[in-house]
Amino acid sequence: MNLYTINAGHFKLDGGAMFGVVPKTMWNKLNPADENNMCSWAMRCLLIEEGNKLILIDTGMGDKQDAKFFDRYYLHGNDSLERSLAAKGFSRDDITDVILTHLHFDHCGGAIVKDGDKLVPAFKNATYWSNQQHWDWAINPNDREKASFLKENILPIQESGRLRMVNDKWLMVNGMETAESLILPSLSYKIVNGHTDAMMLPVIKYKNKTIVFMADLLPSPAHIPLPYVMAYDMFPMKTLNEKKIFLSEAEQNGYILFFEHDPTIECCTLQLTEKGIRVKDIFKLEEI
């Protein structure tokens, strides 16, 4: 198995929204805001190469939205999904499977592209993976979350006939719901419900280590302290409890955390300190 970091670009979100109840005087030291109170965040995807499988986890926000949309989210930097794949020697047509941790626009927007007047899969040879519980939640969005679930990112996946669902009969493992991937035996998912309903955290067994793709349970290492919960989360107390359970398991078992949104940090391990569980070592995926 080979793993590759795929950078789909950077965007900006309001710092207060990203850190919830934590005061700016504290979070601004971790990810300094600009004059508009906006912080830069990565859209860092993960590519798994195993046998005849080339599996992409999340796709960034893509480039099909209008100028008004991108003005709101300040897409910046030189990275794109296509350029990052090419730098690793791959193209979009090589992808066999796309795992969507959840269907917020910054995680699934790159899954669909414009082809003239049509919206079509960006990865024409790939199977797209979600789960029925989250899919139903996303296509019938509540008023608070509606702006994150964009129909043009979601419905064309189903219309293409390339959508498959992970088994929704979750198993409880160490206090967290878990599902098999149906793609590789070395891949599974943890299911969490605080940020949005039934978000999947891919878990990869690699070189006798366990790597967890953190999606939006922990957008960055700055979110490891328990009170650092995003205002975007639908059920913040669920998030806090899910973090507590996960961080304890991850610290005890030496998991490697892979961060989708930190602007610079890709991976870390954890240690128990007098302040609780905190970052131990920081490193890039290629250093594992």
Q: How far apart are CA 183 and CA 49, in angstroms?
A: 12
Residue-level pLDDT at 28:
95
**Residue 91, number of CB atoms within 10 A of its CB:** 10
80-126 pLDDT, tens digit each: 999 999 999 999 999 999 999 999 999 999 999 998 889 999 999 99
Residue-level pLDDT at 72:
86
Q: Token pair of 38, please? A: 């906006």
Pair 204, 3: CB distance under 8 Å = yes
Residue-level pLDDT at 241:
96
- The strand ranges marked E within 144-208 are 163-166, 171-173, 176-180, 187-192, 199-206
Task: Tell me how long the chain is.
Answer: 288
Pair 97, 187: CB distance under 8 Å = no
The mean pLDDT of the chain is: 95
Residue-level pLDDT at 81:
95
What is the average pLDDT across 136-151?
95
Which positions ≥6 away from 234 have C-beta within 8 Å?
A: 142, 144, 145, 194, 195, 196, 197
Residue-level pLDDT at 279:
97
Q: How far apart are CA 271 and CA 251, in angstroms?
A: 6
Provide the residue ranges of all domains of the chain, joining segments of one domain with +: 2-287
Q: How far apart are CA 19 and CA 39, in angstroms?
A: 11
Instruction: Work out whether strand 276-283 and strand 199-206 pair parallel, antiparallel, or are unpaired.
Output: unpaired
Residue-level pLDDT at 165:
95
On the question of pLDDT at 167 being above 90, the answer is no
- Cross-strand partners of 4: 47
Q: Token pair of 51, please? A: 């046998």
Residue-level pLDDT at 146:
93
Q: Give residue for tokens 């995003």.
A: 230
Q: How far apart are the first and last CA of the chain?
A: 13
Residue-level pLDDT at 66:
85
**Residue 227, number of CB atoms within 10 A of its CB:** 13
pTM above 0.85, yes or no: yes
Residue-level pLDDT at 274:
95
187-236 pLDDT, tens digit each: 999 999 999 999 999 999 999 999 999 999 999 999 999 999 999 999 99
Q: Is 212 left (phi over 0), alpha (psi -120 to 50) or beta?
A: beta
Angle between helices 132-139 and 151-159 (to 10 degrees): 130
Measured between alpha carbons, how far is residue 93 from residues 78, 98, 105 in Å?
22, 12, 22
Per CATH, which fold does 2-287 belong to? Metallo-beta-lactamase; Chain A (3.60.15)
